[in-house]
Chains A and B, each alone.
Chain A
Amino acid sequence: MSLNNLILLTGRTINQGVALEGGKTTKENVRAAAICTFDKDDFKKLDCLVGTPVKVITDHGEVVVYSTISEEGPHPGIIFIPMGPWANQLVNPDSQACGTPTYKGMKAKVEVMRSGRVLDALELMKRLREA
C-alpha cells in the first residue's frame, strides 16, 4: 500500500534527544530517530503492522524508516520523522538565501516495504560518501 499527498514535518523528540546523547551511532538512535509517525487514520490506510518499514519519498530524496502511530495526533495528512540523518535524506536543502534549509513542510509519499532494511546512521553516511 502507499499514501500520496502527505506533508512531512521533522523535529526534536525526547527519545531522539536521549538517544543522541547516548551515542549517535548506536541501535538506540535508529529506534528513536529512524521512525515515521502517522496519523491514526492515515496509518489504517497503509494496512500494515506498527514497525513495518516504509519508504518515504520527497522531491529531495528517499529513505526507509520504521512506521508507527503518532501519540501527537490527530494530524491527518501530516507525517513526522524526528530530526537526524534519516529525516535529512528528505528535507528541502534550499534556504531561500537565508542560510537555514527548509526542514519542515515537504510534500511526501509513503510506500510500505515488503522487504527492505532500515539502515543505521553510519550505513546511511557511507551511502552518501559513495554517492
Chain B
Amino acid sequence: MVERKIKTIYDVVCPFCGTLCDDLEVDIDIKEDSVIEVRNGCQIGTKKFFSSNPSGHRYLKPRIKTNGEHKEVSWDEAIDAAADILVKAKRPLLYGFSSTECEAQSKGVELAEILGAILDNTASVCHGPSLLAIQDVGAPLSTLGEYKNRADLVIFWGSNPVHAHPRHLGRYSEFVRGYFRKDGRNDRFIIVVDPRNTHTAQIADLFIQVKPNEDYELINAIRAVLRGVELDVKEVSGVSIEKIRELVDMLKLCNFGVIFFGMGLTQTLAHHRNIDAAICLTRELNDHTKFLLEPMRGHYNVTGANQVFTWNTGYAYSIDFSRGYPRYNPGEFSSVDLLIKDEVDSSLIVASDPASNFPAAAVKNLFKHPLISIDPHETPTSAFADVVLPAAFAGIECEGTAYRMDSVPLRLRKVKNAPGECISDKEILEKLIIKVKEKLGE
C-alpha cells in the first residue's frame, strides 16, 4: 500500500454560495497537492474543492484561439493578446467578479477606469433589483447571527435554500440552536412562499402557494390587511383572504421575524417593485414586533463585488466609465441590456460564465465580438473565448477577502497550490493593467 502524507486544514471558508460556511475541514495529499477529502461542506461546496484538482476541464496554461482552435501559449503572449483586444475596443465590457476575492475585484475597477469600459458584476442578473429597491426605500437588515440567536418566525419568499444554500438552514435559519432559540427547529415557525411546493416548503410549518409573477399583489394584500383594510375579494394571487389574515396574525405575534428572499422576487415580472413592497412590509411589521429581511445572495462574493465597486466608484453594479468618470444606470449599462442592443465590442469575463447564464439573445451578441475569459475551468464562455487566462481558485488556491450575504467580510484561506501555470485573478488583472497602460502609452 502506498503511504499518503496528509495535511488537514481546519476552519476553511467555502467559496461557493453567499452563506460562506467557515467550518470546513479539507484534507490535502501533500505529495500530489490535491484535495482528497472535504468535511462539513454541502454537496456543491465539496464538489468545488474536488474540482480544483487537475481534470479534463481544468485549464493549466493560457490559451489563444488560432484558426478556430485553442492553442496553449505563454503568459506573455496571452496577456499581450488580451490587452490588444481591450485597447482596440471602443466599448469593452468587464463582467463577472462575483466568484473571486475582493482584491481582484478592486483591480477590475482599476482596469475598467483605465479602459473607459463598462463594469458590471453578476448582481446585474440576480439581486440587482434588490439593490435598486434598497436604494429606493432602505432596508432593515442584520447579520446572520442575529437571526440564528433570535428569530422565532422565518419566511423564505421565492427562495429554496435546500437547493441553493444547502447549509443556510443548519447554520442560521431553521435547525440551528440559537442563544434565545435553544430548542432549534422547535423554537422556530417556518413559512415558505413559492409557486412550487419546494423541498424547503416540504419541511416548513406553513406553505403558501402563490401564483407565478403575482408576489407583488400578495405582499401588498398582506400590507393592506396588516393596516386593518377589509379586502373585498375572496383571494389574492391564489391565496385565500382567510389564509392572509391568519398569516398576518402570525407575523404580528412573533417576537422576531425575518424574511429571506431570493430570485423568486427579483427575477419575476415586477422585479425591484417586489422588493420595494417586501421592504415596506418589513418596515410596517416593526410597528407590531421586530422584523428584518435579508437577500439570499448566490455567488459567494457577489456582496463583496457590490461593496468593492461601491467604495471605489459610488455604485454597486452597471457602471459606465466611458466619460472618464463612473455613471450608473441599470437597464442602460447593465450587461444583458447592452449585449442585446449590441453596444459592446469586446468582453473580458472574470470568474463567470455569461454564456450559460444570460438569455440566448444576449449570448449571441457576446460571441459576435472578441472575448477574453479568466476562468479556472472550461465553461461554455471560455470554450469560445479568443483568449483564456487560467486562474487559481480564490479561497482554495489563493487567499483573499469575501463578503458573506449579510456583508460580513471573511478571510478566504489557501489550502493547496494551483496546478500548472494558473495564477490568481488579482495577478492576472495586474498583468493586464500593466500591459494595457503600456499599450496606451501611459
Contact = CB atoms under 8 A, between A and B. Distances in A.
Interface of A: 7, 9, 11-14, 17-18, 20-26, 60-61, 70-75, 78, 80, 83-85, 88-89, 91-93, 95-105, 121-122, 124-125, 128-129, 131
Contacts of B419: none
A101 B336 contact: yes
A78 B212 contact: yes
Given A14-B162, A14-B164, A21-B51, 15 more contacts: A9-B195, A11-B264, A14-B42, A18-B44, A20-B356, A22-B47, A25-B57, A72-B197, A85-B356, A93-B362, A100-B334, A101-B359, A104-B213, A122-B383, A129-B384
Contact of A9 (B43, B196, B335, B364): B196
A24 B367 contact: no
A20 B379 CA distance: 9
Given A95-B337, A98-B330, A85 B355 contact: yes
Contacts of A88: 356-360, 363
A9 B213 CA distance: 10
Contacts of B264: 11, 104
B355 A83 contact: no
B55 A23 contact: yes
B357 A104 contact: no
A93 B380 contact: no
A125 B373 CA distance: 15
Contact of B269 (A12, A89, A97, A102): A102
A14 B163 contact: yes
B206 interface: no
A69 to B, nearest CB: 13
6 contacts: A22-B51, A25-B379, A72-B197, A73-B196, A97-B332, A129-B384
A16 to B, nearest CB: 8
Contact of B361 (A73, A93, A105): A93
Interface of B: 16, 42-44, 47-48, 50-51, 55-57, 124-126, 128-129, 132, 160, 162-164, 166, 195-199, 201-202, 209, 212-213, 263-264, 266-269, 271-272, 298, 317-318, 330-332, 334-337, 340, 353, 355-364, 367, 377-380, 383-384
Contacts of A105: 212-213, 268-269
Contacts of A84: 356-357
A57 to B, nearest CB: 13
Contacts of A85: 355-356, 380
Contacts of A129: 364, 367, 384
A131 B272 CA distance: 33
A93 B336 CA distance: 8
Contacts of B56: 23
The 3 closest A-B pairs by CB, nearest first: A99-B334, A97-B331, A99-B330
A72 B198 contact: yes
Contacts of B353: 24
Nearest to A7: B212
B220 to A, nearest CB: 18
Nearest to A124: B380
Contact of B378 (A25, A72, A73): A25
B163 A13 contact: yes
Contacts of A13: 163
Nearest to A16: B163
A74 B367 CA distance: 39
A100 B356 contact: no
B330 A83 contact: no
A23 B378 contact: yes
Nearest to A131: B364
Contacts of B331: 95-99
A75 B238 CA distance: 12
A93 B359 contact: yes
B355 to A, nearest CB: 6
A24 B166 contact: no
Contact of B380 (A61, A91, A121, A131): A121
A131 B367 CA distance: 10
Contacts of B360: 60-61, 88-89, 93, 128
Contacts of B271: 95-96, 98, 100, 102
A89 B335 CA distance: 17
Contacts of A61: 360
A105 B198 CA distance: 16
B48 A21 contact: yes
